[in-house]
Amino acid sequence: QSSGGTVANGSQIYTNPSADLALVRLDRSVSATYSPLGQPGSVTVGQGVQVFGWGATSRCGSEINCQSQYLKVANLVVSGGCRDAYNGSAICARPGNGITAGGDSGGPMTANGVQVGVASTSDRQSTTAYTNVTAYRTWIQSVAGV
């Protein structure tokens, strides 16, 4: 985006000790639209989900050179539970009309309007793993103070 928006800096980073998950405290309040955090059971095998990111949109030598200049949305299908890049609880999904690629890490996975995952790892062909944020809901709430 070339105009509009809000600029905020990260003032503190909190990393989860057992999952590919971190929270960043901002240096100011930000008024924005967001997806609420899902509850355990918010997503099931075979369910369609949406993922968002600025990652690679084609294959090229270095994925940094083929990342999108615009936010992209892809539809995936949940294939089951799995492990994230740090062996934490994750949601695995297979491609629908796209798949997670380099540059998408940290992006959200939503199901029925609630956030259920954060992009962790992908083979960029047949499966992708999203850290299951519903499994870390208590940790997220304690760090965020909500």
Model confidence at 118, in pLDDT bands (50, 70, 90)?
Answer: very high
Q: What percent of the chain has pLDDT over 70?
A: 89
Q: Taking the model in full, what pTM does it have?
A: 0.88
Examine the domain organization and report whether 28 and 99 are in the same domain. Answer: no
Domain count, the chain: 2
Examine the domain organization and report whether 57 and 30 are in the same domain. Answer: no
Asked whether residue 41 is assigned to any structural domain, the reply reads no
49: number of Cβ within 10 Å? 22
Q: Which residues of 70-101 are buried (b: 16+ CB within 10 A; e: fewer)?
A: eebebebebeeebbbebebbbbbbebeebbbb
Asked whether residue 43 is assigned to any structural domain, the reply reads no
Expressed as residue numbers, the domain containing 17 is 10-34+136-144
| Tokens of residue 108, six digits | 């959200």
| H helices present in 22-144, as ranges | 137-144
Distance between CA atoms of residues 41 and 115, nearest Å: 12
